[in-house]
Chains A and B, each alone.
Chain A
Amino acid sequence: MWMWVVHRVTGVAIFFFLLVHVLDTSLVRVSPEAYNEVIGSYKTPLYGLVEAGLVAAILLHGFNGLRIIAVDRSTWALRHQRQLVWAVWIAFAVLMVPFLWRHLGHVFGGA
């Protein structure tokens, strides 16, 4: 039930970011200055945290999607679907920790 909510909420968040992300990237057709100015705002601490949330949403949605496929396709996965929820969160954490380490270093460390 909760993973169903997580899947919907992360899906909607990713969709709206995707619309904005194509629009901001389209500024490369306007001028290098216009693109660099807008993408510069993505490097501020606030946006840095929003990006971290976005990467989290993508990883959760993706891994939970794989769990849904597995549960539909195999009776083993269906019987172990609760453990697979744990597997989703563990895989999520395993990728998020090094990502946050590096990304927040870039955002806050000025590296």
Chain B
Amino acid sequence: MMTAQPSVRPPRTPSGRTRRNAEKWSWVFMRITGPVLLILIVTHLFINLMTGDGISQIDFAFVAGKWASPLWQVWDLLMLVLALLHGGNGMRLLINDYAHHPWLRKVLHSALGIAVIGIIVLGALVIFSFDPCPVDADPSLLPSFCEDVR
């Protein structure tokens, strides 16, 4: 990819990684996911906050209406996974830069890993196990297409 190997002066903190090229792949990952996330998230914000009644329109029925389309299910899953991995990797770099005690670094890295994996699993389960028309719910809170389902 790059021919010249620039030497980076301190205060860049060595990561302590032993696997060769691990940090290069982390860098490549950020470079690729960054622009993708910008498109995914700006579209997400535009649809949810600029169209229709903006923030005022967001309720259970709005979410149900969006997730009725596989496009938005996949869109939100992609955002979920890429944003957490991109943000988690960024937080990992900050921990490397600011947490100097090895034990503190270990604790923070572990907490970060658990949070990132836990939130990805939770979010993915919610997107794909979501029921837009729960049977015991108040019908006035449900999307209009639920009437046809019953």
A residues at B contact (CB < 8 Å): 8, 11-12, 14-15, 18-19, 22-23, 25-26, 28-29, 31-33, 35-36, 39, 42-43, 48, 51, 55, 58-59, 62-63, 65-66, 69, 98-99, 102-103, 105-107, 110-111
Contacts and interface: CB of A to CB of B under 8 A. Distances in A.
A99 to B, nearest CB: 7
A31, A48, A66 pick with most chain B CB within 10 angstroms: A31
Given A12-B91, A102-B54, A103-B50, 12 more contacts: A8-B94, A15-B91, A18-B87, A23-B122, A33-B138, A35-B63, A58-B41, A58-B42, A62-B41, A98-B50, A106-B55, A110-B56
B63 A51 contact: no
B130 A29 contact: yes
Contacts of A15: 87-88, 90-91
B34 to A, nearest CB: 5
Contacts of A63: 38
A87 to B, nearest CB: 15
A43 B55 contact: yes
Contacts of B107: none
Contact of B34 (A22, A65, A103): A65
Interface of B: 31, 34-35, 37-38, 41-42, 45, 49-50, 53-56, 58-61, 63-64, 80, 83-84, 87-88, 90-91, 94, 115, 119, 122-123, 125-126, 129-130, 134, 137-138, 141-142
A106 B54 contact: yes
Contacts of A106: 49, 53-56
Contact of B63 (A25, A42, A98): A25
B38 A14 contact: no
A90 to B, nearest CB: 16
Contacts of B137: 31-33
A15 B82 CA distance: 12
Contacts of B59: 32, 35-36, 39
A62 B50 CA distance: 19
